[in-house]
């Protein structure tokens, strides 16, 4: 009788165990379907200067593919690259305001290729309330900006390519106007208005906290600011002036806080890649195809002040997925 009773208990225990195992598999299945890293989710880290066009592109993409969730994060491109290389943050698509950042901060461990897809130019953005808004021009701007009653803002060169390019723009101004004091005076001035990325500068001008921003033309266009166009020898917009831009350089923080990196003047070129740690590479390729399509993402970029550089030249052509080769020369 005792053994029979034990057998009954064992039998019930086995049945209960089977039910628990089945229930566990069901839970795991449900969890996997809801996991934010599944094939229905694409995670994007992008440059702050692309915040508005990326938002519009994602909305347009979801109009066609409503079942795919896209999660975006905006960073200064250097800081964004560090999210991948140092913090190992989930990222399926990385879009940098400087294609060189992909090479220097992510390759070879965290990326093996990049596609340079767009250009830009540095301008001085302002509004109708800015001091000397009615008289500033490409001959007197640096004299106006040195005045104590004129406040300027720029982004940090240690975190953001736009901050690097603001410094380059001033260093090139020394050469162009043959006045070595331009960069020294203006880089020392108004340092309390340096921000992590160029998108953080917008409110400073909208609220008239400052008079002028060293910023991309695309940002000025997107936010309907007035802006002063500068000579091509200063504005970093022309690939054919690469050798001239390379005459200036300075040091910033490298890919680790303890290291330094020599920044050299280069034309403004944005780049896109799929990090090696991406969990949804198939989805990433699909989004990049949409992003670079001349009738879809690229059209939105162009409407928002970007200079499209497609079909692109890439020295990493052999590493770029076959399905993206059509965007290359």
Q: Which residues contact 230 (CB under 8 A, 6 or more apart)?
A: 121, 122, 123, 124, 138, 141, 169
pLDDT band at 16 (very low <50, low <70, confident <90, very high): low
Reply yes or no on whether the pLDDT at 15 is more than 70: no
Q: Pick from 285, 287, 172, 168: which is nearest to 216 by CA?
A: 168
Reply yes or no on whether the pLDDT at 37 is more than 50: no
pTM over 0.85: no
pLDDT band at 69 (very low <50, low <70, confident <90, very high): very high
Alpha helices in the chain (DSSP H): 2-34, 51-64, 77-85, 99-101, 141-145, 161-176, 181-188, 202-206, 217-222, 232-235, 242-245, 281-292, 297-303
Give the tens place of pLDDT for each residue, 104-140: 999 999 999 999 999 999 999 999 999 999 999 999 9
pLDDT value, residue 32:
45
pLDDT value, residue 11:
57
Give the tens place of pLDDT for each residue, 132-183: 999 999 999 999 999 999 999 999 999 899 999 999 999 999 999 999 999 9
Reply yes or no on whether the pLDDT at 50 is more than 80: yes
Q: Which residues pair with 270 in a beta bridge?
A: 118
Reply yes or no on whether the pLDDT at 10 is more than 50: yes
How far apart CA 212 and CA 206 sit, in angstroms, is: 10
How far apart CA 320 and CA 297 sit, in angstroms, is: 19
pLDDT band at 18 (very low <50, low <70, confident <90, very high): low
Chain length of the chain: 329
Q: What structural domains and CATH numbers belong to the chain?
A: 41-119+269-327 (3.40.190.10), 122-264 (3.40.190.10)
CB contact at 8 A, 267 and 258: no
């Amino acid at each position: 009788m005792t053994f029979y009773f034990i057998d009954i208990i064992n039998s019930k225990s086995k049945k209960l165990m089977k039910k628990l195992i089945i229930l566990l598999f069901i839970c795991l299945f449900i969890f996997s379907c809801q996991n934010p890293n599944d094939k229905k989710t694409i995670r994007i880290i992008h440059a702050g200067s692309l915040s508005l066009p990326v938002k519009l592109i994602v909305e347009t993409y979801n109009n066609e593919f409503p079942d795919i969730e896209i999660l975006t994060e905006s960073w200064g491109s250097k800081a964004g690259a560090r999210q991948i290389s140092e913090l190992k943050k989930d990222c399926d698509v990385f879009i940098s305001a400087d294609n060189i950042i992909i090479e220097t901060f992510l390759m070879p461990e965290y990326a093996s290729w990049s596609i340079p897809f767009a250009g830009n130019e540095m301008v001085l953005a302002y509004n109708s309330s800015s001091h000397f808004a009615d008289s500033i021009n490409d001959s007197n701007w640096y004299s106006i900006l040195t005045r104590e009653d004129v406040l300027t803002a720029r982004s940090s060169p240690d975190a953001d390519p736009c901050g690097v390019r603001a410094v380059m723009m001033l260093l090139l101004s020394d050469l162009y106007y043959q006045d070595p004091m331009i960069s020294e005076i203006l880089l020392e001035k108004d340092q309390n208005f340096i921000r992590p990325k160029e998108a953080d500068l917008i409110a400073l001008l909208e609220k008239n906290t400052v008079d002028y921003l060293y910023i991309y033309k695309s940002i000025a266009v997107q936010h309907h600011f007035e802006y002063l166009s500068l000579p091509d020898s200063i504005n970093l917009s022309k690939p054919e002036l690469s050798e001239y831009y390379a005459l200036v350089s300075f040091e910033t923080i490298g890919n680790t806080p303890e290291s330094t990196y020599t920044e050299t003047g280069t034309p403004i070129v944005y780049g896109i890649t799929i990090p090696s740690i991406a969990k949804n590479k198939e989805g990433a390729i699909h989004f990049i195809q949409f992003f670079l399509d001349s009738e879809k993402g690229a059209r939105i970029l162009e409407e928002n002040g970007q200079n499209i550089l497609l079909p692109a030249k890439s020295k990493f052509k052999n590493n770029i997925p076959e399905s993206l080769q059509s965007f290359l020369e």
